[in-house]
Structure 1
Amino acid sequence: MPLDPRRPTGPEPTTELVVLAGLTPDGTEQIAQLMLAEPGTVVVHHDLRHLGDGRVFRRIRDATSDTATEVELAHGCLSCTLRDDLLPRVVELTGQARRVVVHLDPVLEPEQVCFALAHLLLGDEPAATTVTDVVDLLGVITVIDVATWFDDATGEETVAERGLVELFDDERTIAQLATAQVEFADLIVRCGTAPARELARTNAVLARLSPTAGQVRLADAALDPAVLSLAVVAPEARRGRPDGVHAPLLRGAPPLDSDCGVSLFAFSDRRPFHPQRLHDAVDLLLDGVVRSRGRVWLATRPAEVLWLESAGGGLRLGRAGHWLADAGEEAWEHATPERAAMASLGWDEHYGDRSQDITVLTYAADHAEMSAALHAALLTDDELAAGERAWAQLPDPFGSWQEHGTGDADGCRHERDDQAGAAGRARAEAGAREPTGAGVAGPAPPEAAR
């Protein structure tokens, strides 16, 4: 079996780590309590309810103690505060606890936190380590309320409108948060109930959005807490590992048929998008859509891989590296073997490895209309023939991310080099796309459309 480039060799960690997420505070708290019943478990939680007053409280509890400590908000930045306090705290618990549960505030996305656990360095190089160097990250448990989750995942309500903790410049919708938490889960714990038809539709969405995640009812987990150990998961389970930007867009084996009106749509093409026409077409990636995600390239910036994500009424488009086409030998040397192989297999004499690849999970959308609109947004034959100099002059309404795309959701700007260092950066480039959203690592591209 090939070694995972994201994980160093060495002695196996003795402390297990589980990330617990969800929009349902009562549900996640019940799971935390069930996990605390297992001897040797410690739950770490950062309470963000008083963030508006500049206060964050860290709570650490085990079977016999429960301690809350106010944590200084580092220069007003939540990401810095969590990174500087959460990551060292987990490392300190190594060897003392058999299992550490990082219980996230409802406003946080687990992919961001897992990226930080795996790639942000602690200490000084060359002895610096990441959290996952010293603990065994088992994966992510996400708790959902089946009575409300589908409406949350398809609505337009923002995080601020819901009354959750409002991070600086955070324009995410509840749908973006709900889908991100489920999409990254290794185990989905279901609480609440819903009418049979609504429940069937929710089940159809979950099967396609997170096909490798196991599912269990909260009542069943209460009867058998061992299911929360993540000892039995699908072979393709994420185990807390963010995908690379060039990884397959469909993880596992999601159903490809339609169920309760829920189905998957895939769009692929080699031509570049006309930026303005793509911008005009993005509403079709929002209406009747649960989730869209994929790689795109714009005629105005042929070197850049752009990552597109939408959920409910919110959409993001941000930079995600560079295509290997026209890149030097160094870019090929730094590419993972998987990426280099895929680029070579799909190489086009005109476009190299550049391509449009988007998957869309829909519940009430016309796939033919969506396909026609996206094809119409591609460059025409005449526009292609005009060449890259002419493409560079095309109107580009997506250009604003160059000014704002590297800022944290809570307003503090970081360069990835400063966060991860050379070793962490190498591991990240070897395996993981730096995720968008709100969490510990922090960069959140602005929304291109709402």
Structure 2
Amino acid sequence: MTHSPPDHRPAVTVLSGFSPTATSAVAHRLLSEDPNLLLVVHTLDDLADGRVRRLVRTAAGVVEDVTVELVHGCVSCTLREDVLPTLVRLARTHPQSDQLLALPRAVEPEAVASACAHTLLDGRPVTDAVRFDSYVTVVDVDTVLDGLDTTDDLRDRGLHAAPDDHRAVADVVARQIEYADTLVSWARPESDPLERVRVATLLRRLAPWAVQLDADAPDVPAALRRTGRHDPQKPGTLGRGQEGYPIGEHDPTPDWGVTAMLFEARRPFHPQRLHDALEELAGRTLRARGQLWIASQPDTALGFEAAGGGIGLGSLGYWLAALPPREWDDASPSRRLTADATWDPYYGDRRTQLAFVGLDSAPDALTTILAECLLTDDELADGWDAWSALPDPFAGCFALPEPTTGTAP
């Protein structure tokens, strides 16, 4: 039996959350438990002017407090130009110290993972110097429902990270929860105990893959650090279905008012009927995510998400069935395996997988709305050529690279 060599890289715990009070409380508890732990915080108040403040501290005091000038004032530039270089530099100057990266409230953890995967420092991957151990999201029990249900944009609260940042608060809160491998529920002493149970149920439905902890549990520090829960191969939330990962759970029976359902179909959506139903779908769900396809654009896999009364659709690229086999090698092994395992003789790997989480909602009614948006048997019988002539409000919305010779039936 062979053993892996010991990993001496400092471990990085990425801490996110939309409540600064809750996130700060957990960060300081972790600091108090380990005098060697380095807390790294970036303040983005002056990001639009190309400046960020970087604070590095231990439980004993401040190690660094500097203002950094950036070439461009954006979150991705901050990650590439200062956040990741800081982690690598600290790993070299403090090799015995693990790191706690506390993200600003409007930064999504998936953005950090993406930057890490695509950034080289001095020609070497960031992960040569540090190991991203886990992604932890702290949830404020008293405010998370408001965050998931609000129609506010970040701009409405003065939290937008750039002039063109039009993200919704609900989207950010949901994505922070969904990407986490560990969720920590934080509550004030006066918080309603029943609300804590309700929120815990909601979090299980939103992120059934995440470990849940209470911030006031005695074993929280040990349960958060050096867990190895982060899987660097894990795809982004919207692409999980294509890679064979679960996108949610099906449990339509209300539990503390929270319902969860999965909707799956092989046949495509009628573009006009789907478009006409989007507003009602958004109004009937607290959060939705997944992938789908529409008959008029059969080459394109579409990512779907809903939160805060809004819906977003975007291209996830080509379905493998729309590409010549020689181009399949560009897809990940897990996606190719998933396509092989679920391949349909007529549709190929094209399929709809949507997950919905609601409060006091009616999953049966939601299923009916979605089913009525699919092509009917008669429309299906008309064939692929006829589908391209269907009225399509989404025409021109989902750009793809130059088309190759496809294999659509």
Q: Establish whether residue 268 from structure 1 lines up as the match of residue 267 from structure 2.
A: no
Give deviations 1:306-328, integer Å, cap 9, x for gaps.
11111222322111122111422
* 1:77 and 2:77 are equivalent in the alignment: no
Q: Which residue of 2 aligns with 1:365?
A: 361
Structure 2 gap ranges (5+): 402-409
Structure 2 equivalent of residue 294 of structure 1: 290
SS of alignment partner, residue 353 of structure 1: coil
> What letter is aligned with 2:196?
L
Size of the alignment, in residue pairs?
390
Shift of residue 144 of structure 1? 1.5
Which ranges in structure 1 are unaligned for 5 or more consecutive residues?
2-8, 407-450
Counterparts in 2 of 1:255 and 1:372: CA distance versus 1, 3 Å: closer
Aligned: 1:35 with 2:30: yes
Distance 2:381 2:332 in 1: 33
Q: For the structure 1 residues 238 and 53, does the alpha-carbon distance in structure 2 shift closer, same or farther, using more than 3 Å as the test?
A: same
| Alpha-carbon distance change, 386 to 56 in structure 1, aligned in 2, over 3 angstroms | same
Measured in 2, the distance between the counterparts of 1:326 and 1:52 equals 41
The structure-2 alpha-carbon separation of the partners of 1:255 and 1:122, relative to structure 1 and needing over 3 Å to count, comes to farther
Indicate conservation of the 8 Å contact 1:120/1:130, yes or no.
yes
> Which letter does structure 2 place at the counterpart of 1:118?
A
Q: In structure 2, what is the equivalent of residue 46 of structure 1?
A: 42
Aligned counterpart, 1:170: 165
Equivalence for 1:109:
108
Contact 1:140 1:240 in 2 (8 A): no
Query: Counterpart of 2:186?
Result: 191
Q: Quick check: 1:160 aligned with 2:140?
A: no
Identity %: 37
- Alignment of structure 1 residues 411-426 onto 2, 5 Å: none
Q: 1:396 to 1:76 in 2, by over 3 A?
A: farther
- Do the aligned partners of residues 10 and 28 (structure 1) sit closer, same or farther apart at CA in structure 2, a change above 3 Å counting? same
SS of residue in 2 equivalent to 1:306: strand
Name which of 43, 58, 61 aligns with 2:54: 58
> Is this contact kept in 1: 2:244–2:334, CA < 8 A?
no
* 2:262–2:356 CA contact under 8 A, matched in 1: yes
- Which residue of 2 is the match for residue 344 of structure 1? 340
The AA in structure 2 aligned to 1:383 is E
1:283 aligns with 2:279: yes
Of the three residues 315, 318, 321, the one matched with 1:319 is 315
Q: Is the 8 A contact 2:79 2:115 kept in 1?
A: no
Partner of residue 332, structure 1: 328
Q: Aligned match of 1:213 in 201, 210, 213?
A: 210
Could you tell me whether the CA contact under 8 Å between 1:173 and 1:313 is conserved in 2?
Answer: no
Closer, same or farther: CA 307–106 of 1 in aligned 2, 3 Å = same
Deviation digits for residues 319-368 of structure 1 (CA, Å, limit 9, x no counterpart): 11221114222233333333223222322221111111111112232222
SS in 2 for 1:74: coil
Give me the whole-angstrom Cα distance separating, in 1, the residues matched to 2:283 and 2:137: 26
- How far off is 1:109 after superposition? 0.6
Q: Given the two structures, how large is their TM-score scaled by the length of structure 2?
A: 0.85
Measured against aligned partners, the alpha-carbon deviations of 1:231-284 in whole angstroms (never above 9, x if no partner) come to 386xxx657944454134536978664302212111111111122211111224
* Alpha-carbon distance, 1:386 to partner: 3.5
- Could you tell me how far apart the structure 2 residues matched to 1:78 and 1:326 are? 34
Distance 1:224 1:348, change over 3 A: closer
Query: Is 1:25 the counterpart of 2:54 in the alignment?
Result: no
Structure 1 residue identity aligned to 2:110: E
Shift of 1:187: 2.4
CA distance in 1, matches of 2:5, 2:120: 17
Alpha carbons 2:37, 2:98 under 8 Å: kept: yes
Judged with a 3 Å threshold, the aligned counterparts in structure 2 of structure 1 residues 314 and 336 are, in CA distance, closer, same or farther, namely: same
Whole-angstrom CA distance in 2 between matches of 1:209 and 1:149: 12
The CA distance in 2 between the partners of 1:332 and 1:83, in whole Å, is 30
Q: Match of 1:390?
A: 386
Q: 1:337 to 1:18 in 2, by over 3 A?
A: same
Q: Is 2:354 the counterpart of 1:355? A: no
Following superposition, the deviation at residue 174 of structure 1 comes to: 1.7
Q: Higher mean Cα deviation, 32-41 or 171-180?
A: 32-41
CA shift digits 1:21-59 (9 cap, x unpaired): 011112222222233331332222220122344432122
What amino acid maps onto 2:53 in structure 1? F
Structure with greater Cα Rg: 2
Q: Specify the alignment match of 1:14 in structure 2.
A: 9
- Report the secondary structure of 2:39's partner residue: strand
Write the letter of the residue equivalent to 2:119.
L
Equivalent position amino acid for 2:325 in 1: E
The answer to whether the 8 Å contact 1:143/1:188 transfers is yes
Identify the residue that residue 404 of structure 2 maps to in structure 1.
none
Following superposition, the deviation at residue 295 of structure 1 comes to 1.2
* CA distance in 1: counterparts of 2:169 and 2:211, whole angstroms: 23
- Helix, strand or coil at the partner of 1:75: coil
Question: Are the counterparts in 1 of residues 48 and 163 from structure 2 also a CA contact under 8 Å?
Answer: no
Structure with higher RCO (Cα < 8 A, 6+ apart): 1
TM-score, normalization by structure 1: 0.78
For residues 376-412 of structure 1, the C-alpha deviation after alignment (integer angstroms, 9 at most, x for no partner) is 2122334334433433333333346447x99xxxxxx
Change over 3 Å in CA distance of 1:291–1:64 after alignment to 2:
same
